[in-house]
Amino acid sequence: MSDDFVNASDTGEIPSFNGDAKAKATDFAQYFCSYAQLYHQKQMLADHNRMAAYHSAIVGNANVFKDKVVMDVGTGSGILAVWAAQAGARKVYAVEYTDMAKHAEKVMVANGVQDIVTVIQGAVEEIELPMEEDSLTPNDGDNPTQVVDIIISEWMGYFLLRESMLDSLIRARDKFLKPKAGLMFPSHTTMYFAPVTDENERKASAQDYGNAMCDWHEFAEGTKNTYGVDMSILEADFNREQKEYYMLSSRWSELTSDAVLGEPSIIKHLDMATCTIEDSRGVSKDAKDSKFEFTVDGSSANGPISGFSGWFTADFKSRTDVDGLGAAPVISYPAFLSTGPENGYTHWGQQTFYNPSPIPLLRGETTKIVGYVEMMRTKENSRLYNCRITHSITRRNTDAGEDGQVLHASHENSVIYQIP
């Protein structure tokens, strides 16, 4: 997996942008297909933290939506587009790739907003707006299609970037949003990372891995005895496969605040008005925020450290970039969504990266963990990411402070995880 990790970002385009027919068909089977199911849309609609944040962001800022042209990138069942219409938008374009668009159309009629909302089925990278039909005045800047006042979208995946839908959002922004006066909802997103304790899950994964290998031995022995074929040549490959699955994959978790052992560290912050396709590719070692440093007091924290966990937050607030300040409408009632352990259930949960063995915390001693996170698209699937976490640990007597004698210093430890 190591070489793949290093090379992964070189060819990381998602197929909805310039993909050939075969790439698009694979992308549909691997990614879009589930969004065409009401079952999957309902899971998102039943996530109350998600719903409440978008609802207050849109309906709570009706003064900003009034008479505006809005685009919902990836409308799914259409909920955000309905809210935008209810908030007083003049025109809403609800763009959806899958056949969910047909359900969305029914939702518009059932809620009496079909004259305001136009559902457009297609990839947002490929669609055109009915500019003439809707009497939209072309933008007099370089790009006449930049006619949209507000882009709303729920594009975020596990640990923010998974699914790579951010690429589609950025391309929609650059093509359709008014560059200075336009608003992005959410307006800013932030990735967090923290050391956590969660021994039950860590042990369960290690145990499942152990059981899988135990089962292999029984199977190989049985195949040899019963059917006369020796399969033991495949043991190393089976072992690698199972290890990647159980030990080297992050897990969806719903942690509580007390599982978090250090002040969460920001590893990436995106201003949605200015972020780039390169930002969407992942987190590189040289990135401004990729480094972390955690200090955990063994006397007060409830250890051991089982691993690290990552999550994100989203803000719906005024523009903060130079172009937008003063030109874009001010958001008087900012909204906020957190998928962190302090906020309870969201369907995103947190992604936890378990250490192969726990890091002990000792009374009277302070443990310092220093390292960095890298995140790259996988070579096989540009909507998935690998995460490399590199860290080293030192322990000191808490009373001796930051400059006290080092009681223990670990080697640098680097593990690559896939985010399934």
Of the pair 36, 301, the CB lying nearest ligand SAH is at 36
Name which position in 60, 65, 69, 75 contacts ligand SAH (CB under 6 A).
75
Of the pair 87, 165, the CB lying nearest ligand SAH is at 165
Question: From residue 80 to residue 99, what is the string marking binding to ligand SAH with x (rule CB under 6 A)?
Answer: x--------------xxxx-
Instruction: State the sign of the Cα–Cα–Cα–Cα dihedral 240, 193, 385, 415.
Output: negative
Token look-up 């089982």 returns 306
**Number of chain residues interacting with ligand SAH (CB under 6 A):** 22
163 is catalytic: yes
Name which position in 124, 129, 260, 361 contacts ligand SAH (CB under 6 A).
124
Q: What is the closest distance, in whole angstroms, from the C-beta atom of residue 351 to ligand SAH in the complex?
A: 18
Please, which residues have CB within 8 angstroms of residue 53's CB and are 6 or more apart in sequence? 314, 316, 335, 336, 337
Of the pair 15, 371, the CB lying nearest ligand SAH is at 15
Q: What is the closest distance, in whole angstroms, from the C-beta atom of residue 263 to ligand SAH in the complex?
A: 31
Strands 188-196 and 335-338: unpaired
Q: What is the closest distance, in whole angstroms, from the C-beta atom of residue 43 to ligand SAH in the complex?
A: 10
User: Could you say which residues in the range 225-284 bind ligand SAH, by CB under 6 A?
Assistant: none
Of the pair 38, 325, the CB lying nearest ligand SAH is at 38
Contact 72, 54 (CB under 8 A): no
Tell me the window of 72-80, 177-185, 345-353, 393-401 that interacts with ligand SAH (CB under 6 A). Answer: 72-80
Tell me the window of 74-82, 143-151, 313-321, 386-394 that interacts with ligand SAH (CB under 6 A). Answer: 74-82
Q: What is the closest distance, in whole angstroms, from the C-beta atom of residue 225 to ligand SAH in the complex?
A: 50
Of the pair 79, 393, the CB lying nearest ligand SAH is at 79
Distance from C-alpha of 37 to C-alpha of 17, rounded to nearest angstrom: 23
Distance from C-alpha of 171 to C-alpha of 176, rounded to nearest angstrom: 8
Contact 286, 278 (CB under 8 A): no
Distance from C-alpha of 69 to C-alpha of 117, rounded to nearest angstrom: 10
Q: What number of other Cβ atoms are within 10 A of residue 51's Cβ?
A: 17
Q: 23-29: long-range contacts at Cβ-Cβ below 8 A with a sequence spacing of 24 or more?
A: 27/383
Length of the chain: 420
Q: What is the closest distance, in whole angstroms, from the C-beta atom of residue 96 to ligand SAH in the complex?
A: 5
Q: Which residue is nearest to ligand SAH (CB)?
A: 74
Q: What number of other Cβ atoms are within 10 A of residue 91's Cβ?
A: 23
Please, which residues have CB within 8 angstroms of residue 109's CB and are 6 or more apart in sequence? none
Amino acid at 78: G
Residue of 204, 150, 201 lying closest to 172 (CA atoms): 150
96, 163, 365, 374: the catalytic one is 163
Our CA dihedral for 236, 240, 243, 245, rounded to 10 degrees, sits at -130
Amino acid at 1: M
Tell me the window of 71-79, 326-334, 380-388, 408-416 that interacts with ligand SAH (CB under 6 A). Answer: 71-79
Q: What is the closest distance, in whole angstroms, from the C-beta atom of residue 120 to ligand SAH in the complex?
A: 9
- Phi/psi at 368 (nearest 5 deg)? -115, 130
Q: What is the closest distance, in whole angstroms, from the C-beta atom of residue 170 to ligand SAH in the complex?
A: 11
For the chain, report the end-to-end CA distance as a whole number of angstroms.
Answer: 14
Q: What is the closest distance, in whole angstroms, from the C-beta atom of residue 84 to ligand SAH in the complex?
A: 11
Distance from C-alpha of 275 to C-alpha of 289, rounded to nearest angstrom: 15
Under the binding rule (CB under 6 A), the answer on residue 100 touching ligand SAH is yes
Name which position in 8, 58, 69, 79 contacts ligand SAH (CB under 6 A).
79
User: Could you say which residues in the range 10-29 bind ligand SAH, by CB under 6 A?
Assistant: 16
Q: What number of other Cβ atoms are within 10 A of residue 222's Cβ?
A: 11
96, 125, 154, 365: the catalytic one is 154
Name which position in 165, 183, 373, 393 contacts ligand SAH (CB under 6 A).
165
- Phi/psi at 64 (nearest 5 deg)? -85, -35
154 is catalytic: yes
CA 66 remoteness from chain centre: 30
Of the pair 261, 335, the CB lying nearest ligand SAH is at 335
Name which position in 32, 292, 372, 385 contacts ligand SAH (CB under 6 A).
32
Residues that bind ligand SAH (CB under 6 A): 16, 32, 35, 44-45, 74-77, 79-80, 95-98, 100, 123-125, 154, 165, 168
User: What residues are annotated to the active site?
Assistant: 154, 163
